[in-house]
Amino acid sequence: MSTPHHHEHHEHHISTARQLWAVGTALIFLTIVTVILGKYVAIPAPFDIVTAMVIALTKATLVAAFFMNLYWDVKFNAILLVTSVIFFLLMVSVTLLDTLYRNDVVPSF
């Protein structure tokens, strides 16, 4: 009995070995860059932490897009990831609105 599928059968994306090695190499390169910038280059605050976080975010994006395959995946999964990051930032911002503006830090903290 031939029951045609209602939606198209889509092939799962298969990365080439070269693509995966390129991503891995880029990640290691960025790790070395962040160590050199963090340890041997005097970047004035707050740009030291900003630089480190920009590099970390770039690495995280590479992992999410090409190792976790979000680049080729249905967009809903990428939306889930981005939403979790937004809610994390919301949690941090709302908490900082309290802790940054206290007159006195609670002594035992």
Binding site for other proteins (CB under 8 A): 1, 3, 5-7, 9-10, 12, 14-17, 20-21, 23-24, 27-28, 31-32, 34-35, 38-39, 42-43, 48, 52-53, 55-56, 59-60, 63-64, 66-68, 73-74, 76-77, 80-81, 83-85, 87-88, 91-92, 95-96, 99-100, 105, 109
Q: Considering beta carbons, is residue 100 or 103 the nearer one to other proteins? A: 100
Name the nearest CA neighbour of 64 among 27, 103, 28: 27
Which DSSP state fits 67? I
Provide the minimum distance between the beta carbon of 103 and other proteins in the complex, in angstroms, as a whole number: 13
- Taking residue 66's Cβ as centre, other Cβ atoms within 10 Å add up to 19
Instruction: Tell the smallest beta-carbon distance from residue 28 to other proteins (Å).
Output: 6
In angstroms, what is the C-alpha Rg of the chain?
Answer: 21
Separation CA 65–CA 71 (nearest Å): 5
